[in-house]
Structure 1
Amino acid sequence: MTEYRQMLQSGDSRYRRLSATLYDHLIRPVAAEIEALNPQQLAIIATGSLRQFPFETLRDSEKDQFLLQQYPIHYLTRLSSRSLLASPSPSPFLNFPLWTLSLLLGIIGMGATVKHHWKLGGTLLTLALVSTTFLPRFSGGYGVLGFANPKPQDPFNLPGTEAEVDALLRLAPESEIYRHHQATLEVFKRQSSRHRYLHLATHGCFQQLGCCLQETCPDYQPDMKANTLLFADGEYPLADAALLGLQDTQLVALTACQTALQTNLDGDAIMGMAYIWERAGARALMATLWNVDDAATAAVTTEFYRLIMEEGLSKVEALRQAKLSQSHRHPFFWSPLVLIGDPR
Structure 2
Amino acid sequence: GWIQLQLGELSAAEVELRQAVALLDYDGGIHLAVVLGMLADLEIRRGNDEQALAVLDQIGTIHEGVNPASMDHAIALIQRATLLERMGRDPEPAWQRAMGIVGQLPADSALRGEPLVERAHADLRAGRAEAALAGFEAGIASLQQHSPDSLALARGLQGEALARLQLGQLEAAQGAIQKALAIQERDVPQSATLAESLHASARIASARGKLDIARAQSCQASEILDRASLRVGGDSLAQARFRSLYATIYRDCVQAQADAQQPELAFDALERFRARGFRAALEASRFQSRPTLEAIALSHDLEEQATIRANDAALPVELRSEARRQAARISAERAALLARLSEELPAAVANDLASYRSQLPPGEALLSFAAGDRHLLAFLLTHDDLHMASVDIESTALRLEVDGLRQLLIARGAESEWQARAGQFHERLLGPFAAELEALHTLRIAPDGPLHHLPFAALWDAKRQRDLLATHQLIMADGIATATAQDTTPNRRLLAIGISQAPELPAAAATAEPGLRRGLSALPAVKAEIEALAARTGTRRLLDEEATEATVRAALSAADDVHFAVHAVLDPAHDMESALLLHPGTGMPRDDGLLTLREIIAELRIPPGLVVLSACETAQGRNLDGEGPLSFARAFGIAGATTTVASLWPVNDRATAQLMTRFYQFRDQGQAPAAALRQAMLLQAGAASLPESAASDPLRGVGALAPRTRPDSQHHPYYWASFQIWQAR
What TM-score bracket applies, with the shorter chain setting the length?
Answer: 0.7 to 0.9
C-alpha separation in 1, matches of 2:524 and 2:647: 17
C-alpha separation in 2, matches of 1:240 and 1:226: 9
Partner of 1:198: 562
1:27 counterpart SS class: helix
C-alpha separation in 2, matches of 1:341 and 1:229: 20
C-alpha separation in 1, matches of 2:460 and 2:625: 24
Q: CA deviation at 1:286?
A: 0.7
> Measured at CA, do residues 9 and 265 of structure 1 come closer, stay the same or move farther in structure 2, by a change above 3 Å?
farther
> Measured at CA, do residues 304 and 166 of structure 1 come closer, stay the same or move farther in structure 2, by a change above 3 Å?
same
Q: CA deviation at 1:76?
A: 0.8
> Is residue 549–residue 582 contact of structure 2 (8 Å, CA) maintained in 1?
yes
Partner of 1:335: 721
**Corresponding position: 1:283 with 2:684:** no
C-alpha separation in 1, matches of 2:619 and 2:728: 17
> Measured at CA, do residues 334 and 83 of structure 1 come closer, stay the same or move farther in structure 2, by a change above 3 Å?
closer
**Corresponding position: 1:247 with 2:607:** yes
Q: CA deviation at 1:307?
A: 0.3
Q: Which shifted more, 41-50 or 225-234?
A: 225-234
Partner of 1:152: 502
User: Could you list the per-position Cα deviations for residues 207-266 of structure 1 after superposition, in whole angstroms to 9, with x for gaps in the alignment?
Assistant: 41379xxxxxxxxxxxxx942111101211212223322233x11111122322333496
C-alpha separation in 2, matches of 1:180 and 1:54: 31
C-alpha separation in 2, matches of 1:164 and 1:33: 40
Counterpart amino acid of 2:531?
D
Q: Percent identity?
A: 27
**Corresponding position: 1:228 with 2:574:** no
Partner of 1:24: 427
User: Could you list the per-position Cα deviations for residues 32-55 of structure 1 after superposition, in whole angstroms to 9, with x for gaps in the alignment?
Assistant: 1122xx333111011111111210
2:409 counterpart SS class: helix
> Is residue 277–residue 285 contact of structure 1 (8 Å, CA) maintained in 2?
yes
C-alpha separation in 2, matches of 1:317 and 1:160: 24
> Measured at CA, do residues 151 and 210 of structure 1 come closer, stay the same or move farther in structure 2, by a change above 3 Å?
farther
C-alpha separation in 2, matches of 1:271 and 1:31: 32
1:340 counterpart SS class: strand
Partner of 2:466: 65
> Is residue 147–residue 183 contact of structure 1 (8 Å, CA) maintained in 2?
yes
More strand by share: 1
**Corresponding position: 1:84 with 2:483:** yes
More helix by share: 2
User: Could you list the per-position Cα deviations for residues 90-112 of structure 1 after superposition, in whole angstroms to 9, with x for gaps in the alignment?
Assistant: xxx46xxxxxxxxxxxxxxxxxx
1:326 counterpart SS class: helix
Partner of 1:42: 443
Higher-RCO chain (CA-CA 8 Å, sequence separation at least 6): 1
TM-score with structure 2 length normalisation?
Answer: 0.36
CA RMSD of aligned residues (A): 2.5
Q: CA deviation at 1:273?
A: 3.5
User: Could you list the per-position Cα deviations for residues 173-198 of structure 1 after superposition, in whole angstroms to 9, with x for gaps in the alignment?
Assistant: 43111111111001111011211111
Partner of 1:33: 436
Counterpart amino acid of 2:557?
S
Counterpart amino acid of 2:580?
L
> Measured at CA, do residues 266 and 19 of structure 1 come closer, stay the same or move farther in structure 2, by a change above 3 Å?
farther
Residue 176 of structure 1 is aligned with which of 510, 534, 540? Answer: 540
Q: CA deviation at 1:276?
A: 2.4
C-alpha separation in 1, matches of 2:572 and 2:626: 12
C-alpha separation in 1, matches of 2:610 and 2:451: 24
> Measured at CA, do residues 173 and 319 of structure 1 come closer, stay the same or move farther in structure 2, by a change above 3 Å?
same
> Measured at CA, do residues 256 and 144 of structure 1 come closer, stay the same or move farther in structure 2, by a change above 3 Å?
same
Q: CA deviation at 1:23?
A: 0.6
C-alpha separation in 1, matches of 2:634 and 2:622: 15
C-alpha separation in 2, matches of 1:269 and 1:151: 32
Q: CA deviation at 1:269?
A: 6.0
Partner of 2:492: 142
C-alpha separation in 2, matches of 1:181 and 1:269: 35
1:275 counterpart SS class: helix
Q: Highest CA radius of gyration, 1 or 2?
A: 2
Q: CA deviation at 1:298?
A: 0.9
C-alpha separation in 1, matches of 2:599 and 2:411: 33
Counterpart amino acid of 1:320?
R
Partner of 1:319: 677
Q: CA deviation at 1:82?
A: 2.8
> Is residue 151–residue 231 contact of structure 1 (8 Å, CA) maintained in 2?
no
Q: CA deviation at 1:296?
A: 1.0
Partner of 1:51: 452
Unaligned runs of 5+ in 2: 1-401, 504-518, 585-592, 687-714
User: Could you list the per-position Cα deviations for residues 265-299 of structure 1 after superposition, in whole angstroms to 9, with x for gaps in the alignment?
Assistant: 96966455333212221111111111111111111
User: Could you list the per-position Cα deviations for residues 59-87 of structure 1 after superposition, in whole angstroms to 9, with x for gaps in the alignment?
Assistant: 11110010000011110136xx43426xx
C-alpha separation in 1, matches of 2:520 and 2:639: 30
Counterpart amino acid of 1:6?
Q
1:198 counterpart SS class: strand
Aligned length: 274
TM-score with structure 1 length normalisation?
Answer: 0.73
**Corresponding position: 1:2 with 2:352:** no
Counterpart amino acid of 1:161?
V
Unaligned runs of 5+ in 1: 95-136, 212-224
